[in-house]
Amino acid sequence: MRDIRTVGENLADRDKKHLWHPLTQHKISPHMLPIKSAKGSILIDEEGKEYIDAISSWYTAVYGHCNSYITDRVAKQMQNLDQVVFSGFTHKPAIELSEALIKILPEGQQKLFFNDNGSTATEIGIKMALQYHHNSGNDRQVMLAFEEGFHGDTFGAMSVSGLSVYNGAFEDHFTRVERLPVPNGKNNDEVISILKDLISKHNIAGFIYEPLVQGAAAMKFHDAGGLNEILKVCRRNDIILVADEVMTGFGKTGKYFASDYIEQKPDVICMSKALTAGLLPMGLTSCSQKIYDAFYSDDIAKGLFHGHTYTANPLACSAALAAVELLVSDEIQENIHRISNANKEFAKKLSSKAKVKNARSKGVIMAFELDVKMERYGNLRNEIFKFFMDNGVFLRPLGSTIYIVPPYTISEAELKKVYSVIEGSLLAF
Ligand SMILES: *Cc1c(COP(=O)(O)O)cnc(C)c1O
């Protein structure tokens, strides 16, 4: 075999030649840090320097990097069936995964539709809501979403996302969306009256929401009771409830799904990120029997005609199944409990400190705002990021919000180090 690889060491320089990175303005941020390997909670760079992955690589690798329980299963699957068309064919990894997931999903979920990532998972959630009404003969074309929600980067997902600072070039192409403020406990009645007003003025098909924690909005928490009231009003008005659990799913809030904290259960749930434990890209959109029934017909046009080439890839399914087995294990549940308690204590400790605003935690998610004068630091966010990296902790602050979502397998010592570097940042800024 001819080796067509370029010979050379410096990955950071070679990266610049052909690669275009996501969410990056390359003129402002030209340097990418090459990561050579990862194991458990640790990322290791080209020079051998170690970083604790305190955000589980965007909330994916929650059972630790290169977890052999998962990699062994995928390696085995790889020798048996790598990929096959999922229209007209089926396979054991998908079937076993569906059976396992239905056991842990919130009550009422019955059918699973595969896709490739979080954005397509929500895209299909939106399609399910719109086509549910279309198939039922209802004229409902409008989606409802929270202000500052984030649901992904494809067109439908962008449309319902409230954080649209980066979406200016596409706004003329968005689907129709009305927005609702997030309930904070104090404004709940006002939110309900805004909701009722929107329902009376628009033909709303579905409501898409990140339950309890809005990740990209800088780990903003909202009121469970307030959300429950919103869901009740929506349900009474036959508005399809689409829970985007791409970030919150699979244990991050302390329960399997954030929807488990809320009495009103969703009609549709969007999943990705920790679904495959950081191993392979995959998304899933689950729904209730009621939604499925609206597509079940002798009329071919009433079907959900959406399909990605890699739908239900057997390797991704086997990774997801191994991940679910880990999630429900006593060991991982105890770890989630341990981190949740430690986070709660740490948030309490931080609350008494100067420069700390709104320290909060839910499950393994812990966040606060660093209350310092931004002007003093040029780009505060980048300075904070650098501080953490220099101290061996990988975090991605959002503006002045510092947050962690550590792997469930993080050791006591590693978690203590993350906390102590966070405390160090309070002195440094
Ligand atoms: C990350 C995220 C998405 C998008 O997922 P991708 O896999 O990045 O497309 C959608 N919704 C929420 C809540 C997310 O956190």
Q: For residue 131, what are the CA distances in angstroms to 108, 150, 159, 206?
A: 20, 22, 17, 10
The rounded distance, in Å, linking the Cα atoms of 124 and 155 is 11
The per-residue pLDDT for range 201-248, each reduced to its tens digit, is 999 999 999 999 999 999 999 999 999 999 999 999 999 999 999 999
C-alpha 9 to ligand 1 mean position (Å)? 33
- Cβ atoms of residues 32 and 17 within 8 Å: no
Model's pTM, two decimal places?
0.97
272 lines ligand 1 (CB under 6 A): yes
C-alpha 148 to ligand 1 mean position (Å)? 14
**pLDDT score, position 262:** 98
Per-residue confidence at 376, pLDDT binned at 50, 70, 90? low
State both tokens at 327.
Answer: 């999630």
Rounded percentage of the chain residues whose pLDDT exceeds 70: 99
Of ligand 1's listed atoms, the one at least distance from the Cα of 154 is: 9
The per-residue pLDDT for range 121-172, each reduced to its tens digit, is 999 999 999 999 999 999 999 999 999 999 999 999 999 998 767 788 898 9
- The alpha carbon of 218 is separated from its chain's Cα centroid by a whole number of angstroms, namely 12
State both tokens at 124.
Answer: 């299909």
Element (H, E) at 288: strand 283-288
C-alpha 246 to ligand 1 mean position (Å)? 6
119 lines ligand 1 (CB under 6 A): yes
Q: Which SS3 state, helix, strand or coil, does residue 159 take?
A: helix
The rounded distance, in Å, linking the Cα atoms of 370 and 419 is 14
- Asked whether residue 58 is marked as a ligand-binding residue, the answer is yes
- Asked whether residue 309 is marked as a ligand-binding residue, the answer is yes
C-alpha 59 to ligand 1 mean position (Å)? 10
The per-residue pLDDT for range 252-302, each reduced to its tens digit, is 999 999 999 999 999 999 999 999 999 999 999 999 999 999 999 999 999
State both tokens at 296.
Answer: 């079940």
Among 319, 280, 305, 300, which Cα is nearest to 69's?
Answer: 319
118 lines ligand 1 (CB under 6 A): yes
State both tokens at 177.
Answer: 């969306």
Give 399's contacts (C-beta < 8 A, 6+ positions apart).
218, 380, 381
